[in-house]
Amino acid sequence: MSTLTTHKASKLEGELSLPGDKSISHRALIFSAISSGTCEIHNLCSGEDATRTLEMFRHMGIQAEFPGGTFLSVTGKGLYGLQEPSTVLYTGNSGTTTRLMSGLLSAQRFFTVLTGDTSLNQRPMKRVVGPLRQMGACIHGRNDGHYAPLAITGSHLHGIDYLMPVASAQIKSSLMLAGLYADGPTRITEPALSRDHTERMLEHLGIPIKRKSETVEITAAAAIRPERYDIPGDISSAAFFIVAALLVPGSEIMLRGIGVNPTRTGIIDILQAMGGRIELLNLRTVCGEPVADIFVRASRLKGIMINGGIIPRAIDEIPVIAIAAACAEGTTVISDAAELRVKESDRIATMTSELKKCGVTVQENEDGMIITGTEQLEGARCQSYGDHRIAMAFAVAGLIANKEMTIEDSGCINTSFPEFMPKLTELIR
């Protein structure tokens, strides 16, 4: 198993572009594969998770290649052009692949089996299996569909009116993909708005959907047009550099072309409320998604309360926000975040235990953490628990710790951001 060590940095300086947003990459791959022609995807996320989705489509007869190594060219076969794969489809560590594809595959005319790695096969799947079954899907899985492997026999679906118990873009998008094939409208309401990349991409593709606050309604589509997708830099990857630049004294960095969809910018709002000097410049829209350059300067941070509707807007960034909180003056209280317990690791438990190793006072609660900022983080030997965002959060902590920080089992960083260390090294002076 690989380990990663980071050291105290004197400052971070310079500018970077980042690989494409992981969530948007999955969706661009899906809509390209079921489109009726050749699509181009530029700046596709190079992480293993997006590759799982791509590989899955290759197993279902979709041709996709990188001509000249720049963009991905995908030849779509239409809404009903996918072929039954001859093997089990492996989704690795990717919850997005498993859940979104479950919706799409429920409506195909063939049989598939999805399975993932140890962590993925312990994550809750009933949240998609339940409503998909209500739509007429035929899905079997371990423990009555609570866990993968999932076996799906494609069926004729009908729309439902579904009130989601948790805010989750994966559940919403899975049902929307099923709804693209269903008889009658599929109406989905969330308790708080989660990332809306599926909605924006469908709107950009000219597919009529209805949206009103936390409700979205979709009806069957006749066809998906071929498209060129330009994927913005991933704000969830940018988050690590934003926090690093805020914490390392004297730092000043510019991150170019980052996605700043308001359903994802909870990290910016939270860090600004903590006193972070972050500016969004050159705001523009690309393929229906807001994009900006993000300018960050080292700042003194203070503890705040983080709860309510901002949680789904920052859900993947809580590990690195916890590092910022550990270095802030005062106490930060994170609550309403029980969803963190069912991510790639139980992020409340894993952040609490690893922050304690760095000398931080943390109280673990059922739905969050209370973190008391410290003057000086201690370098330690931390575990990633196979969770990419835990590994990168502690790599950032190493830049301001009193001695080196070692992260065990750091290979998981490749699931979302293989370029993390080379890009970080580019900024370190």
Residues that bind ligand S3P (CB under 6 A): 23, 26, 96, 168-170, 173, 194-195, 315-316, 339
The residue (of 240 and 295) whose beta carbon lies closer to ligand S3P is 240
Which residue type sits at 198? T
* Number of Cα atoms under 13 Å in the Cβ half of residue 218: 27
User: Number of helices and strands (H, E) in the chain?
Assistant: 13, 23
Rank residues 96 and 119 by Cβ distance to ligand S3P and give the closer one.
96
Q: Residue 172 and residue 423: Cα distance in Å, rounded?
A: 33
**Which residue's CB is nearer to ligand S3P, number 77 or number 172?**
172
Q: Name the minimum Å distance from CB 195 to ligand S3P.
A: 6
Residue 318 CA to residue 390 CA, distance in Å, equals 10
- Closest approach, Cβ 304 to ligand S3P, in A, equals 22
Between CA 360 and CA 139 the distance in angstroms is 45
Nearer to ligand S3P, 170 or 265 (CB): 170
Taking the complex as a whole, how short is the minimal distance between the CB of residue 281 and ligand S3P, in angstroms?
Answer: 26
Do residues 326 and 397 touch, judged by C-beta distance below 8 A?
A: yes
Which of 77/343 has CB closer to ligand S3P?
343
For 269, the 3-state DSSP assignment is helix
Nearest to 217 by CA among 277, 175, 270: 175
89-92 β-sheet, strand order: 89-92, 111-116, 147-153, 138-141
Task: Please give the Cα distance from 288 to 199 (Å, whole number).
Answer: 10
CB closer to ligand S3P out of 121 and 299: 121
CB of 130 to ligand S3P, least distance (A): 14
Shorter beta-carbon distance to ligand S3P: residue 106 or 170 = 170
Contacts of residue 212, Cβ cutoff 8 Å, sequence gap at least 6? none
Exposure string of 366-393, with b = 16+ CB inside 10 Å and e = fewer, is: eebbbbebbeebebbebbbbbbbbbbbb
Using DSSP bridges, classify how beta strands 38-42 and 228-230 pair: parallel, antiparallel or unpaired: parallel
Q: How far is the CB of 169 from ligand S3P (least distance, A)?
A: 3
Reply yes or no on whether 316 is catalytic: yes
Catalytic residue among 117, 316, 387, 409: 316
Q: Are the C-beta atoms of 95 and 120 separated by less than 8 Å?
A: yes
Q: Which is nearer to ligand S3P, 48 or 316 (CB)?
A: 316
Burial of 272 (0-12, 13-18, 19+ CB in 10 A): middle
For residue 250, the tally of other CB atoms under 10 A from its CB is 13
Min CB(29)–ligand S3P separation in Å: 12
- Helix (H) or strand (E) segment spanning residue 163: strand 161-163
C-alpha distances (whole Å) from 371 to each of 195, 313, 365, 368 are: 26, 20, 11, 10
Q: Which residues are catalytic?
A: 316
